[in-house]
Amino acid sequence: PEPGFTPPPPPPAPAPAPGFAPPPVFGPPPTHGFGAPQDPAFAASKTPGFVPPAAPAAQGFAPPAVPAAGMPGAQVPPAGPAVPGGPGWWSYGPVFEPYTQTGRDNDVITVDGLPPGPVVVQLDVEGDGYTGLSILNWRNKETDNLVNSTEDDFRGRVLATVPKNGTLRMRLEAEGPWRVEVSPLAAARRLTEEEVDFRGPDVLLHTGGVADLAIHYRGVENLIVNVFELYGHDDHTALPEDDNVVNEIGKRRETVPLPEGPLVVQFEMADGPWRAHLKRVQPPTRQGRFR
């Protein structure tokens, strides 16, 4: 510039409109799922009192509970009886928390503190060879034979009677790991008009009116089905005499007339797969009462 010349200053920047603040400049968003640390200056500029909302949980999902240490296979208590007189109501026999034991190969199983009377014993074995389960009496002698099977990977539910002293003792013959569960009769599955797949012996309940029981047996060994009618039976320590309704060998279809419940339907022998459901079910006339 020429000596003694001073250029004029630049015009001042226009003032921002009243009440307007330019938006803060944000950095790139953090990588999803990692939450990278923020610049301290930016962290200090957050709106006071603002807490970002938590990510919503997936609908319908609940994480599995972690069992407490030292509690192998914590048991879930069975559902109690329904409201007296309601559908599926069952009041025969006491209700207690199931007992579970696991092991391997031959063993003697002792369960103390059970209420006297009929219970359901579920046995699952992983392995081939012979599987046998028998009740031991007070002299440690075998009495009732509950399981007598050569089926691989045996599984099934059978009826057993707890003696008056409340101790159930059973001798198990098995090859491989096994699991035994003792549960109340009230925890047995109810028969319905929906066809259900089963395998091995089982204990089922019928609580409705007169009906026909349709069975499709796909095993090759003996099929034995017994029915215990509980109406008018007051002794909860022992089941009444049973009525044998099926005793056949090999694959077959059977339809059995059932009286009005409450009934215990015992598939005493049923090696292999089978299906069952109710047909032509009539409304109950006893309104859930046992007598």
Task: Give percent of the chain with pLDDT exceeding 90.
Answer: 63
Instruction: Give residue 174's pLDDT.
Output: 97
Residue with tokens 């063993």: 107
pLDDT higher than 60, residue 177 = yes
Averaged pLDDT of the chain: 78
pLDDT for 20-59, tens place per residue? 444 444 344 333 333 333 443 333 333 344 333 333 333 3
Pairing of strands 252-258, 107-111: unpaired
Instruction: Give residue 286's pLDDT.
Output: 78
- Report the SS3 class of residue 61: coil
Instruction: Give residue 246's pLDDT.
Output: 98
Cβ distance 231 to 206 under 8 Å?
no
How many C-beta atoms surround the C-beta of residue 206 within 10 A? 24
Give the list of residues 6+ apart from residue 112 with CB closer than 8 angstroms, or none.
166, 167
**pLDDT tier at 132, thresholds 50, 70, 90:** very high
How many C-beta atoms surround the C-beta of residue 244 within 10 A? 11
Q: Which residues pair with residue 123 across a beta bridge?
A: 156, 180
Q: Which two tokens stand for residue 11?
A: 């015009």
Task: Give percent of the chain with pLDDT exceeding 70.
Answer: 68
pLDDT higher than 50, residue 130 = yes
Q: Which helix (H) or strand (E) holds 43?
A: helix 40-44
pLDDT for 209-261, tens place per residue? 999 999 999 999 999 999 999 999 999 999 999 999 999 999 999 999 999 99
pLDDT higher than 60, residue 263 = yes
**pLDDT tier at 178, thresholds 50, 70, 90:** very high
Cα distances (Å, whole numbers) of residue 276 to 17, 45, 156, 204, 255: 81, 69, 15, 10, 10
Instruction: Give residue 192's pLDDT.
Output: 96
Give the list of residues 6+ apart from residue 100 with CB closer than 8 angstroms, or none.
73, 75, 179, 180, 181, 182
How many C-beta atoms surround the C-beta of residue 217 within 10 A? 26
Instruction: Give residue 107's pLDDT.
Output: 98
Residue with tokens 């997936």: 58
**pLDDT tier at 172, thresholds 50, 70, 90:** very high
**What is the Cα–Cα distance from 81 to 51, expressed in whole angstroms?**
47
- Report the SS3 class of residue 124: strand
Q: Which residues pair with residue 168 across a beta bridge?
A: 111
Cα 6 to chain centroid distance, Å, stands at: 93
Pairing of strands 252-258, 211-217: antiparallel
Instruction: Give residue 4's pLDDT.
Output: 53
Residue range 185-194: average pLDDT? 96
Phi and psi, residue 44, nearest 5°? -75, -15
**What is the Cα–Cα distance from 99 to 6, expressed in whole angstroms?**
101
Start and end residues for every CATH 2.60.120.380 domain found in the chain? 99-186, 188-279
Residue range 143-163: average pLDDT? 95
CATH number for the domain running over 99-186: 2.60.120.380
**pLDDT tier at 8, thresholds 50, 70, 90:** low
pLDDT for 89-114, tens place per residue? 677 888 999 999 999 999 999 999 99
The yes/no answer on whether domain 188-279 falls in CATH 2.60.120.380 is yes
Residue (of 214, 235, 221, 232) closest to 272 by Cα position: 221
Instruction: Give residue 89's pLDDT.
Output: 62
